[in-house]
Amino acid sequence: MNVIARRVGNMARRREKAWRWEHWGVVPDRETQLALAAELEVSEELLHTQPWPDWLPVGDPIRVDFSWDQSGSTIALNHTLEKAMMDRRGFMRLTGMSLAGFATDWLNVEPAQLVAVLRGGRITEEFVAQIEVSLPRLHTLGDIYGGQQVRKLLDAELGMVAEVLEKSSYNAAIAQRFHGLAAELGSMAGFASFDTGLHSAAQRYWIAAVHSAHTAGDRAVGANILKSMALQCRDFGDFPGSLTIARAAYESAGKVTPRTASMLAMRLAWAHASIGDKAESHRLLSIADTQFGHGTRPDDPRWVLWFDEGEFHNHIGACQLDLGNLRRADFHLDKAREGFSPTRRRDYATYLIRRAHVQNDLGNADHAGDLLHQAVPVIEHAPSQRNISKLLAVRDRLPNGTHRSGLDQRLSTLTG
């Protein structure tokens, strides 16, 4: 912002303005872009031919050309660990055909045979189990404290798994479990980066995690990762891309538990709702409802447990909001409130913001403002750039008034 202020004398140095385009896809005005281009030594002509942020110097590309085998999975993991923590880009580097092609590859390629590896010290099943039991704790930390707090822990755990894969001795069964661990840790590290607003880093983790899931032969965890990638596309307004990836997740999962099937059908229903496809969205919502009604099972994967009663209704509310059915959306969001765990602060903040969006569109601006006020301290406890961005977007929809000005004072603690 100091650079822009120096070049654009009449531009107020408001931190919130900088935050919006630094962290979540808001397009700077023309004058701001010209100032940035001059500082970065980018020709003005490129601004005429390439939209924001395509003209920005993008740094290292994100590789998607790793082989779909044991060796390629390990290489992808090490490449990600080398690059991801340093990748501070707040936009999606992979888009369009590259992303769709990656999802198609995952959908069609067959898993390769795992083999034993003989390098260093031998890894036992007990050692693998000790790492596996730490995954729920790491997931809970993200729910309570937000992605920013847990991201470094996840990267460190992933680094340990990568080092074991590269330098230790283990049989094929241990290899399968370790690649499965890498997939789950990479999935969580990707979501933590996504939640923090580091979108290129999120893509790096997810690409490697999908390769690890493929090597482990775990179609369900791979589908879960693609589900997150579809959400990222949706947040950036790439609704066709979100639909392509959500469909690949749904179709590639194979035989899964009812709760997992419900979660994947729900994400695809939301993708269809985002493009206004009411018939297909409602069909998939019906499938999700039926599968959810079968309840949980002992063989449910640990990562599906977050998709509980509260999240189920929260996601139906999101679908109905996108379809313009505000009363239905509000009904399900009201039911979602009853099912939320108080420890899941990040998800609860997302819920409050979505409910505020619906209330404002129903004409209840004061209630919407109150809900946004409630969300601020929750976000303070569980920092989330994603939730801040969504809160700001709903705040901008509120009519001018005292509830909005009072909210702005509280928001300064988040964007300052």
The answer to whether residues 9 and 79 belong to one domain is: no
The answer to whether residues 23 and 105 belong to one domain is: no
358 is a domain residue: no
pLDDT at 45: 72
At 158-173, the pLDDT tens digits run 999 999 888 888 899 9
At 131-154, the pLDDT tens digits run 888 898 888 888 888 777 788 899
Q: Are 63 and 79 in contact (CB under 8 A)?
A: yes
Boundary (domain end) residue, out of 199, 217, 235:
217
The answer to whether residues 172 and 92 belong to one domain is: yes
| 3-class secondary structure, 110 | coil
Token pair belonging to 104: 């198609």
The answer to whether residues 6 and 125 belong to one domain is: no
pLDDT at 168: 87
29 is a domain residue: yes
The answer to whether residues 139 and 67 belong to one domain is: yes
pLDDT at 57: 59
pLDDT at 10: 46
188 is a domain residue: yes
Q: How far apart are CA 154 and CA 42, in angstroms?
A: 36
Boundary (domain end) residue, out of 190, 217, 244:
217
Q: How many independent structural domains does the chain possess?
A: 2
Q: What is the mean pLDDT of residues 373-391?
A: 92
Boundary (domain end) residue, out of 179, 196, 217:
217
Token pair belonging to 257: 């538990």
128 is a domain residue: yes
User: 34 to each of 40, 183, 250, how far by Cα in Å?
Assistant: 10, 41, 43
398 is a domain residue: no
Q: How far apart are CA 387 and CA 373, in angstroms?
A: 13
The answer to whether residues 80 and 197 belong to one domain is: yes
The answer to whether residues 198 and 111 belong to one domain is: yes
At 17-28, the pLDDT tens digits run 554 555 445 677
285 is a domain residue: no
* pLDDT interval class at 282 (50, 70, 90): very high
316 is a domain residue: no
Q: Are 373 and 381 in contact (CB under 8 A)?
A: no
The answer to whether residues 68 and 200 belong to one domain is: yes
176 is a domain residue: yes
The answer to whether residues 41 and 179 belong to one domain is: no
The answer to whether residues 37 and 157 belong to one domain is: no
Type of residue at 260: T
Residue-number span of the structural domain to which 187 is assigned: 63-217
pTM over 0.85: no
Q: Are 185 and 213 in contact (CB under 8 A)?
A: no
Tell me the average pLDDT of the chain.
Answer: 86
The answer to whether residues 35 and 173 belong to one domain is: no
The answer to whether residues 45 and 67 belong to one domain is: no
